[in-house]
Chain A
Amino acid sequence: MNIVETIEIVNEMRAEKVFENYALGGASAVIFYTEPIATEDVDIFISIKNANDLTVLTPIYEYAAKHNFPVKAEHIVIKGFPVQFLPTFNNLTAEAAENAAEFELENVIVRVMRPEYLTAIMLDTGRTKDFLRISLFLESDLVNMKELEEILSRHDLSEKWKKNKHRLIR
């Protein structure tokens, strides 16, 4: 069981045009940059044409069936890791996937949402665990504050940031 093998398959899916592009997001992306936190899946945000179409995930499930990857509820188990494919659902997540950073792991390229976008998405989502994760990011000096403020401004999140900033920056 190696996450790099899982990512290798995701790269193959992109190469076969199952989706246009992808980026690791959610808790797995936070873990990529920081420390292990509890998670039950690997979140892969995908860019797809006609994302409003109800059959948007059909090519993914067809790919899974063709390659004998088990499907468990909303997850596709790829090389031992349950993966959830999430179509980007607003301008912020689309921009985050588009501008993902690329890293190399054991000769495999992985696209990971940048800390500034992850912070903006977590602020937008706004659950308690999201605020804890933002604190973790800020404490680790991972966030370029100027870039973050530009993203927040573009996506109407500046006010929400101002309201919560004092709880997040010590």
Chain B
Amino acid sequence: MEEKQTSSDPVNEEIWRERIAKTKRMFRSAQQTLSFNEKMKIAFALSERDSQIRKAKKK
């Protein structure tokens, strides 16, 4: 029978902490490869998306 892990399991939490840290490291590394121009274009696209969501909520 398979042992069920819970979120309170310290081993499990350790694994998740390491996974989150790894993801953050990968994300930061990816950011560094983006140019300022690319980041600004994404930033404007995010703003446009937020604006669309606000408009949709008003309807």
A binding-site residues for B, Cβ under 8 Å: 1-4, 27-28, 31-32, 34-40, 42, 81, 105, 140
Contact = CB atoms under 8 A, between A and B. Distances in A.
Contacts of A105: 35-36
Interface size class of B (residues with CB under 8 A): 10 to 19
Main SS class of interface, B? helix
A37 B44 CA distance: 8
B37 A38 contact: no
A35 B39 contact: yes
Interface of B: 27-28, 31, 34-37, 39-44, 46-47, 49-51
Contacts of A34: 31
Contacts of B46: 36-39
A32 B42 contact: no
A2 B51 CA distance: 23
28 contacts: A2-B37, A3-B36, A3-B37, A3-B40, A4-B37, A28-B40, A28-B43, A31-B39, A31-B40, A31-B43, A34-B31, A35-B27, A36-B34, A36-B42, A36-B43, A36-B46, A37-B46, A38-B43, A38-B49, A38-B50, A39-B44, A39-B47, A40-B44, A40-B47, A81-B44, A105-B35, A105-B36, A140-B28
Contacts of A1: 41
Of residues B36, B37, B44, B49, which shows the largest number of chain A Cβ atoms within 10 Å of its Cβ? B36
